Structure 1
Amino acid sequence: MLGIDISSTAVKVLQLSNTANGYCVDHIGVTPLPDGCISEKIITDVEAVATSIKSAVQQSRSKAKHCIMAIAGSNVVSKVITMPKGLSDAELEAQISVEADQHIPHPLNEVNIDFNVLASNDQQVDKVDVLLAASKTENITTRVTAAELAGLQPVIIDVEAYAIETIYPLLAHQVPGGGDNKTIGILDIGATMTSLNIMRNGKTIYTREQDFGGSQLTAQIMRAYDLSYAEAGYAKKHQQLPANYADKLLTPFKQTAAQQCNRFLQFFYSASQHTAVDHIILAGGCALIPGLDHTIQNELQIPVTGIGPLEKITLSSTLDQDLLEREYSSLLLAFSLALRAFE
């Protein structure tokens, strides 16, 4: 089964298989998306996205016909509610459908609703905490339609922020002590969007997204050196820029990225009882920018490490190793979704 990450600039597909000691990456494909087919993480051109999905699957050489996808947390309303303990899934679903209009700011006939029982409620022993999530139906159907046009059948539509929980056990070894009883931030700086997931003992306790990413640096390069956007992106990726690039553009961009991260944390502190984060794992395409981890660490005074090799993951001998190396830091969500096939 394929995990498919549809970002603002590319489609990334990844397929894993079980091994005796973990998982093996069998197939990977990455295809750029045409400009304008994604707006604020919503698909606006289904056929263009379907074409890119099909191209990425062909590049990966996977024969899988089923896939797992996700929608952005910014397009989901989520809330933890309490329900009586001991109800079956059917009984929970029936009661939630009756009470959902109290928690969801959209007409119920315009949304898809799902729920997940979390744990017993700390204050009421006869209650359980339930995560309620809802998204406008069009956010789901556009992804399903794009996949179907590409010849695939979606079996799970996850929420990006919560999907990251799936891969966290394979990341935890990168944090001293394995992250036990620690508050860990996963900072993903992509092309146009930055997301922060705060994890505590493997569970998401806070998530936030903001429009900021590497495309802003590309646009600055384009203007500064009179290049097309494509030329600027190529020059940035292959480090073919004038000697003054670092001082003129790169260093200010890294400082801005660090300031953005600081704002993320201030929002987190003001919205929770937490007053500190113990460690940041840096992911996304911008994680490849030399020295960005140190700039963020200096700004936050928190240890920051770029995402490293995942625990219990091996690579197929037939895999495109160069592609994986180039794209590795931006494949976190694709890995997370592919892992859901084994739940």
Structure 2
Amino acid sequence: MVKKEIFGLDISDYSIEALQLTKPLFGKPKITAYARSVFKTSLVKDGIIKDKKKLQDSLVKLLDSAKPQKIRTPFCVLSLPDSQVFTTVFKLPAGLKHKEIKNTIPFKAEEVIPFKSSEVYYDFKTITVEGASQEIFYAAVPVKVVDAYVEVLEAIGLKPIAFDLESLSLARILIDVNNKKSAKLLMDIGSRTTNLTIFDRQGIRASGVVKVAGGRFTKAIMAAKKITEKSANELKIKTGFDSKKDTGKVVAILQNESKKVVGEAKQLIEFYQAEAQRHVDEIILAGGSALLPSIDQHFANSFGLVVNLGKPFAKIKDPGALGNVKGKEIIFSNVLGLALRGIEKKPETSDINLLPLRKNPLLKFLPEKGDRKHWQRFFTRLAILILMLAGLLAVITTKQQGVDFYNYFSPASDTGKFVPADINLDVLDQLRDQAIQRELASTTEALAPKTMVRILPTSAGYANVRDGAGAEFSKVGEAKSGSEYELLERGEEWHKIKLDDKISGWVFSTFTELFETSTTTPAAESSAENNPEVLGVSNETKPIKIRVKENAVGYLNVREGAATSFKKVGSVPVGGVYEVVEESDGWYKIKDASVEGWVYGIYFDIVE
């Protein structure tokens, strides 16, 4: 099977770049096509598309202008700016499998991102496993951001296969991911923002965005020198942080503007070194503003660390296709990182992908590859369906030939059509009633055992019921802990239950146990229903008490209302026990002398 060609596409505020690589059998990848366009006014601002039509036209021209040959393949890998992406690292038990993490992580993410899980596209990957825990890198982006790019690309015939993070793309081309000795700070200085990313042990560990970059430098020079934006930009590019070239205190202006970047970066480094007990030993510069003269020396003096300009060509063959780029290599970093992903064996899944992988509509009902149990069930049902269709076709065919199956198997009876005149109908009715009473008194048909589902105790006091077998499906109800429900369909990770006469849905199997009802009779059921002692029913209710579970930060937020969108009003320590005064949609309201508010139920244990 021929591998499809994929190019990297970097869309930034004032420029777009496309680059395609080929991977030889031996040696480094080679550039086969490249194009770049620069704009006076931005078509995209901080990752948000401002003019879709102009961006479409610009992309078509860009691909046609590629050298030494046009880019013809429709498949591409894009990056999203870090300012639009929410990232964090979760610590979870090492024994959790990918599917279990996928079911758990949306709920944990809602505690730290300002969106519901239904409002974002997200992805995650395990970056380390140590002892009893594993570190999971999580990234999410608002749905509308990705959908806008997909709409633009598909309108001109392009097919995105992955949406990457800009910081991951830069790390792929600028950092040795196999280096496990120390951490690196990647400082991407663009036009609007400076993105700070600590990369360590094959993953992003901490990140931040500072709204100070090249554009801010230019405006500061404009204001101080009272000159035009064009003149200020030229002066910035010529002088930079080089005091030998300074003729009008430009260096002092830039040093003052860069103080916020230095301060934020120092805080990020100190936080990570204290939290992870790992040393950050180098700062790697990227982005167009990293080309300012002597900026590396300025940061080296400010941080007391080794500061180097990134070297994007170290991982590829002779970049002659780019022309004379000496001194400007760094501007190709992101698009090279994207193109490098494009030549990987499985670019869709080789790293974080914020483009939801879409299944062929004709294949969406098929089980996942390798899921033997569900494939067996699928083929069994398919065989039954084929037999039913064959039987129905046979009935229709024979019916058309004049054969009446109903009369064949149930011939009409000639008896009972006439009642003799001398029969006493009242006596006949009495005899019939007596026979029915004897039948009811002497025989009671036993009910066949049924498989039931019992909901196990949960911190929320219930398990969510969804309209499909997965956490991504909508919630249709709640099954209370300790309650029992009829099992409608048994799955490996999700079970379908009958919640009530009108609602059925799926519950996560971890929160359930299956059992079979003992053989009983309708009369016995009626007796049990009317006798609470038989069922062990008690009318006495006790107040619920909950205890804060162990977590990484040692406390849990208390909010004004039952959602993460409400304001924080306090916190409760790990191990604290509180009485529940109200419950709503998985949240508990607690109250004591020190605090009153709502807490999320999954972070508590119910105290017996």
Using the size of structure 2 for normalisation, the TM-score is 0.48
Residue type matched to 2:331 in 1? Answer: S
CA contact (8 A) 2:192 2:214 kept: yes
Within the alignment, does 1:8 sit opposite 2:8 as a pair?
A: no
| 1:82 Cα deviation after fit | 4.4
- CA apart distance, 1:154: 0.5
Q: AA paired with 2:316?
A: I
- Is 1:304 the counterpart of 2:307? The answer is yes
More helix by share: 1
Cα gap change, 1:230 to 1:31, in 2 (>3 Å): farther
Say whether residues 1:282 and 2:285 are aligned partners.
yes
C-alpha displacement of 1:8: 1.8
Structure 2 counterpart of 1:330: 331
Amino acid of the residue matched to residue 16 of structure 2? V
Is contact 2:236–2:250 with CA below 8 Å preserved after alignment? no
SS at match of 1:216: helix
Which deviates the most, 201-210 or 137-146? 201-210
Match of 2:81 in 1: 72
Give the deviation of 1:235 after TM superposition: 7.2
Q: Which of the numbers 29, 46, 59 marks the counterpart of 1:40?
A: 46
Write the mapping of 1:232-243 to structure 2, written as runs, cut at 5 A: 233=233
SS class of match (1:212): coil
Q: Closer, same or farther in 2 for the Cα pair 1:102/1:225, shift >3 Å?
A: closer
Of residues 94-103 and 36-45 in structure 1, the stretch that sits farther from structure 2 once superposed is 94-103
Distance 1:180 1:77, change over 3 A: closer
CA contact (8 A) 2:21 2:31 kept: yes
**Quick one: which amino acid aligns to residue 333 of structure 1?**
N
Q: Say how many residue pairs are matched.
A: 328
In structure 1, what residue type is equivalent to 2:17? Answer: K
Please tell me whether the aligned partners of residues 291 and 328 of structure 2 are also in contact (alpha carbons under 8 angstroms). no
Alignment partner, residue 199 of structure 2: 199
CA RMSD after TM alignment: 3.2
What's 1:175 paired with? none
SS of 2:157's partner is: coil
* Separation (CA, whole Å) in 2 of partners of 1:96 and 1:77: 14
Cα deviation for residue 81 of structure 1 reads 2.9
1:248-327 equivalences under 5 Å are: 248=248, 250-256=250-256, 258-272=258-272, 273=274, 277-308=280-311, 310-315=313-318, 317=320, 319-322=321-324, 324-325=325-326, 327=328
Deviations 1:246-291 (A, max 9, x none): 3326413542465244213222145322586311122221222221
3-state secondary structure, aligned to 1:310: helix
Counterpart mapping for 1:121-160 below 5 A: 121-122=130-131, 125=132, 127-160=133-166
Q: Measured at CA, do residues 130 and 201 of structure 1 come closer, stay the same or move farther in structure 2, by a change above 3 Å? A: closer
Residue 97 of structure 1: how far off its partner (Å): 4.8
Alpha carbons 2:186, 2:283 under 8 Å: kept: yes
**Structure 2: how far apart are the matches of 1:297 and 1:271?**
19
Relative distance call for 1:118 and 1:182 in structure 2 (3 A) is: closer
Contact kept, 8 Å, 1:217 with 1:250, in 2: the verdict is no
> Is 1:182 aligned to residue 158 of structure 2?
no
Distance 1:99 1:183 in 2: 27
Return the alpha-carbon distance in structure 2 between the equivalents of residues 338 and 205 of structure 1.
24
Q: Within 2, Cα distance between the matches of 1:131 and 1:57?
A: 34
SS at match of 2:317: strand
Distance 1:248 1:275 in 2: 42
CA deviation vs aligned residue, 1:45-102 (integer Å, no higher than 9, x gap): 2223333333332232222211111212222222333455566544543444566544
Conservation of the 8 A alpha-carbon contact between 2:8 and 2:336: yes
CA distance in 1, matches of 2:268, 2:184: 12
- More relative contact order in 1 or in 2 (CA 8 Å, sep 6+)? 1
Higher mean C-alpha displacement, 94-103 vs 35-44? 94-103
The TM-score normalised by the length of structure 1 is 0.81
SS at match of 2:29: strand
Unaligned runs of 5+ in 1: 173-177
Q: For 1:210-255, what per-residue CA distance to the aligned partner results, in whole angstroms no more than 9, with x for missing partners?
A: 222222344456664744x45765676688xxxx983326413542
